[in-house]
A and B are shown apart, each in its own frame.
Chain A
Amino acid sequence: MNKKKINNMFYIEEDTIAAIGTKPGEAAIGIVKISGKEAIRVADSIFRSKNGKTINELKSYSLLYGEIIDGRGEVVDEVIVGLMRNPYSYTREDVVEINTHGGITPTTKVLSLCMDRGARLAEPGEFTKRAFLNGRIDLSQAEAVIDLINSKTEESLKIAANNIKGNIKKEIASIRDGIVEILVQLEASIDFIEEDLETTPYEELRKKTGVLLERVEQLIKDESKGEIIKNGVKVAIVGKPNVGKSSLLNLLVKKDKAIVTSIPGTTRDAVEEIIYVGGIPLIIIDTAGIRKTASSVEKIGVERSLGHIDEADIVLMVVDGSRKLDGRDFNIIGKIENKNSILVINKVDLGQKEDIKKLGLPFGPEQTIRVSALKKTGIEDLEHSIKKKVLGNGELNLEDKIIINQRHKKIMQDVREVLQDAETAMANKLSEEFASADLKIASGLLGEITGDTAREEVLENIFSRFCIGK
């Protein structure tokens, strides 16, 4: 097909989109796809090839080897980049595929960089939607896209609602309310100038904007701490010494050895391990200690184990089934009462000394798993149980969690930017409508998270707040 004709073809989306094309953890490589007019520019801005070539110099369907570089010039990952030029791609737009190492770290970081450089996170089904709109796929396939959009939207709405923690959600809503309140004052002083209303002085509104900006900064700080990559699905293996924690871990790791990756922890100096259980990446807390020799495990002791419980999403409580439980076991069990936990009864090959059922421990039958690390039995059951804990009834889907985190991060950064603009406008004594233009964007962005998109709310508030009507 004639290329010029393609360029003139109608498609509604003008912006460049990006997404992770592989399921996290399931393969040894990860792919980040970028599609749109700016795809090549975006990719080139984060990529440094080994041979000095840029992606833009590539022919369609060719590969380039190099590194992804972050904003500080540090290498993120070693990658192979593939280029498919418009119209010879799935979406019929320029498409760049960045092949990274497997696991969530490289793909998420690369995706995040793409977004920093102007790509937008793709909506569910958006690549396929573009493919259809640009005439690349036929009608029957479009039906599938519709289903995808619908199911994904519902699912991600549900997940989005569950995923933002109550207090963060409240904070975001409260920041948005603060912005709307300032807008009410600004707009009242513009449109109702003849009414002689007692509106808040401009300087005070500037200060209020400054306070909101600080709160947004704080959220961004908190949020980047909370990124999936750093605390993802954190699993703590706890238990008193000698119950077989390290053998259990080794067993879990060995099973999936091909894709074990190490990443430097950010909160501690220690190295955290990511292991994949049925495709789900688990971050084992403080494995640096746990993976050492059995004698070192002795030294870590109960106290240290307890410290990890707070941070963990899931706690594996390991007990020695061949002995009677003692005070140290009960002590730890007491501490994990409110946690999402699994009781792992190890050493079942040595016979049962205790009727666990009778102890009335706070673990249901599904959360009580019998294993023998030595004989390698029960591991499958444990994996199944962990998987269920993570995925639940669709409550926590890792892929969506990554996407939502990325989206929030981007929104909050944009909010920060426009709030800064508003504050500057106010500090420079530009008149109200300029700060208002910034603040309207901010409230709209936050509304995307909280689901408030009422268009008339500022006017509504003016009417309820002020006595209007000369």
Chain B
Amino acid sequence: MYDVIVIGAGHAGCEAAFACARLKLNTLLLTINLDKVALMPCNPAIGGMGKSQLIKELDAMGGQMGKIADLAGIQFKLLNQKKGPAVQALRTQIDKKEYETLMKHLLETTDNILLKQGTVAKLLVDGIKVKGVLTEDGMQFLAKAVIITSGTFLRGRIIIGDKDYYAGRMGENPAMNLTKSLTSLGFEMDRFQTATPPRVDKRSIDFSKTIISSGDEEAGSFSFWACPKRGERANIPSFLTYTNSKTHDLIAQNIKYSPIRSGIINTHGPRHCPSIDRKVLNFPQKHKHPVFIEPEGVHTNEMYLQGLTTSMPFYLQEKIVNTVEGLEKASIIRPGYAVEYDYLIPCQLNYTLESKLIENLYFAGQINGTSGYEEAAVQGFVAGANASLKILGKKPLILTRDTSYIGVLIDDLITKDLSEPYRMYTSRAEYRLFLRSDNADLRLATLGFEAGFLEKEAHQKTLKKQQAIDSLIKLLKNITIKPQKANRYRPNLKLKEPIRLYDLFKRPQVNIGDIKYWLDHASNGYGDGVWKQAEIIIKYEGYINRQFEEIKKTKKLEKFAIPSNIDYFRFKGLTYGAQEKLSRKRPNTLGQASRIAGVSPSDISILLLNLRRK
């Protein structure tokens, strides 16, 4: 008897297992192939817009992805450096094998986690409670909670050209029976599709025809707690080239062989990474598309062709690749392919990622219709955390839109209708100016610590940082400088009246260095991170405060829980449309209800009145 069984050791499964083990729960991590733990089957990169915010938040609460990505990173880039702090993001090229090795090693050396190879065929359920799993080999494992993080493996079907066959990923067995088990329990499933580009041999590339692209020395790291020293980090370049009219002509001539045209694929793929076939079809006016050539790792010759995703027949793939400058002689090591898989329509989940239908059964990652390693990892953490907290009889860990990108992700998943695999963007977060990478620790460390996932030391560090920030801001409010002193150092200020350093800091042209100069030795003792926070808080005070106001306004709605057993059709006054939508989504809170498409503000008013009447 285990406490928790996690099905699948991808990015979601690993974080789920770590979270459970952290609360000392006896955790079984079952996976189809133990050589493929924490595999990155698509791009060799972690982070990017919206995603780096997710990892930082995960790290702030005690998750592992950030630390391992920092260690396995071979090139670090800070995106949007010229923009404000809210939209800067870290993107890291990763040595995939290194990442897998480090993550698997961490799993193997973590107490309370037991790794086992096996394919789950069936869920064991007692009434409306899950009680364990049955594998294809006939092994039975019992547990108090089960977390499904099966990625693309449920009835996974690979498509290359006119060939298609069942596989979880290329060269890996699918899980053919679990879907049936889920649908027989009443879960609604649908199918999505995603695809990956071919990999080519480094030795066959003419790099002289490409543009070299290196990382930033001062990019920073994902983890707030364990930062490897900068000097120790690799900075392995990637390369940029472009497709051309030859590429596009070849694709256009052969478009009938593309599975998106031949009809062999008719499910939705993610719009954020369309195949080159689709780009040529949809944007015929564009004469070139970028192709980033990225290393898959340090100890391999495999190079990833970001931008050339295709599931054309193998023989055409190489021809297409060879039209591109620098890739004329490139030889494909692995072909690109598309994979189609079952996912759970995620509105069947609560904020805890526990299913509404079967108690103690959780879902996380790509199975919930998301795309991306980072999106998967944070869900794994939330599912693992809540499965454990529930077993221990503790308060659930619920993240809402106003606390984190993770909250935005989960709220979107369980509220909206997905039409394609879900990817995070900063523009999805309405409180983006407040939910920044740089303050993820300040926002979430206490939550992570109190729930038992973040170490005490890390939490203490955050509390000290917060105190230092508060004290620095107070100091700046208390110190007024004379105009002569200010103007002497920065003549363009042309000050006439004495001014508080706090107010001076608000001016766009005044930077940290200036304030430090005026503060003189009083600035000692505040670290770079503290200064940075003070600067952001002071400079953007108006905008950030407005977001706080908006958050405050919605708070009560967000906190108003709706019982799960409500019959909306018996509620007087609700429109039929609203009754239907609400019955289908069964929102956890009034706030969530208000975001369901087709539910109007007056429906919410009426819902509130009906709920209060009970």
Contacts and interface: CB of A to CB of B under 8 A. Distances in A.
Interface of A: 10, 12, 14-15, 123, 129, 132-133, 139, 142-143, 145-147, 149-150, 153, 187, 190-196, 428-434, 436-437, 440, 455, 458-459, 463, 467-470
Contact of B433 (A147, A192, A437, A468): A437
Contacts of A139: 613
8 nearest CB pairs, A to B = A146-B573, A431-B83, A431-B84, A467-B283, A469-B274, A153-B602, A191-B425, A470-B307
B560 interface: yes
Interface in B398-447: 425-428, 430, 432-433
Contacts of B272: 463, 468-469
Nearest to B540: A434
A429 B508 contact: yes
B394 to A, nearest CB: 25
B87 A431 contact: yes
Contacts of A192: 49
Interface in B266-322: 271-274, 279, 282-283, 286, 289-292, 306-307, 309
A429 B272 CA distance: 29
A148 to B, nearest CB: 10
B557 A193 contact: no
Contact of B606 (A149, A433, A434): A149
Given A129-B609, A468-B272, A149 B49 contact: no
Chain B CB within 10 Å, residue with most, of A10, A139, A440, A467:
A467
Interface of B: 48-50, 79-80, 82-84, 86-87, 91, 271-274, 279, 282-283, 286, 289-292, 306-307, 309, 425-428, 430, 432-433, 508, 540, 543, 546-547, 552-553, 556-557, 560, 572-573, 590, 595, 600-602, 605-606, 608-610, 612-613
Contacts of A428: 508
Task: Pick the most buried of A123, A459, A463, A470: most chain B CB atoms within 10 A of its CB.
Answer: A470
18 contacts: A12-B556, A14-B553, A129-B609, A132-B609, A133-B612, A142-B612, A146-B609, A149-B573, A150-B602, A190-B427, A191-B49, A191-B427, A194-B48, A433-B84, A433-B86, A437-B432, A467-B286, A469-B272
Contacts of A123: 601-602, 605
B613 A191 contact: no
B87 A433 contact: yes
A115 to B, nearest CB: 17
A469 B279 contact: yes
A434 B612 contact: no
Nearest to B48: A194
Given A12-B608, A142-B613, A440 B430 contact: yes
Contacts of B430: 440
Given A190-B87, A433-B83, 18 more contacts: A14-B552, A15-B553, A133-B609, A146-B573, A190-B49, A193-B80, A194-B49, A195-B290, A433-B86, A433-B426, A437-B433, A437-B547, A455-B595, A459-B425, A463-B272, A467-B279, A467-B289, A469-B279
A459 B427 contact: yes
Contacts of A12: 556-557, 560, 590, 608
Contacts of B48: 194
Given A132-B612, A150-B573, A191-B425, A434 B274 contact: no
B448 to A, nearest CB: 26
A132 B573 CA distance: 16
Contacts of B283: 467
Contacts of A133: 608-609, 612
B581 to A, nearest CB: 15
A196 B282 CA distance: 18
B30 to A, nearest CB: 34
B560 A433 contact: no
Overall SS of chain A's interface: helix
Contacts of A433: 83-84, 86-87, 426, 432-433
Contacts of B282: 467
B82 A431 contact: yes
Contacts of B590: 12
A238 B379 CA distance: 73
Nearest to A132: B609
B521 to A, nearest CB: 32
B594 to A, nearest CB: 11
B519 to A, nearest CB: 25
A147 B426 contact: no
A149 B600 CA distance: 12
A133 B604 CA distance: 14
A458 B271 contact: no
B601 to A, nearest CB: 8
Nearest to B280: A467
A436 B50 CA distance: 16
Nearest to B426: A191
A469 to B, nearest CB: 4
A440 B550 CA distance: 13
B606 A469 contact: no
Contacts of A436: 427
B414 to A, nearest CB: 15
B542 to A, nearest CB: 9
A437 B84 CA distance: 13
A463 B279 CA distance: 11
A187 B274 contact: no
Contact of A470 (B50, B290, B546, B547): B290
Contacts of B292: 470
A433 B436 CA distance: 12
Contacts of A142: 609, 612-613
Contacts of A469: 271-274, 279, 307, 309
Contacts of B572: 143, 146
A117 B273 CA distance: 49
A429 B509 CA distance: 11
Contacts of B600: 153
B426 A190 contact: yes
A451 to B, nearest CB: 10
Contacts of A432: 83, 87
Contacts of B552: 14
A97 B339 CA distance: 66
Contacts of A468: 271-272, 274
A190 B83 contact: yes
B543 A191 contact: no
A437 B552 CA distance: 17
Nearest to A462: B427
Contacts of A145: 609
A119 to B, nearest CB: 15
Contacts of B286: 467
A443 to B, nearest CB: 12
A149 B572 CA distance: 12
Contacts of A190: 49, 80, 83, 87, 426-427
A149 to B, nearest CB: 5
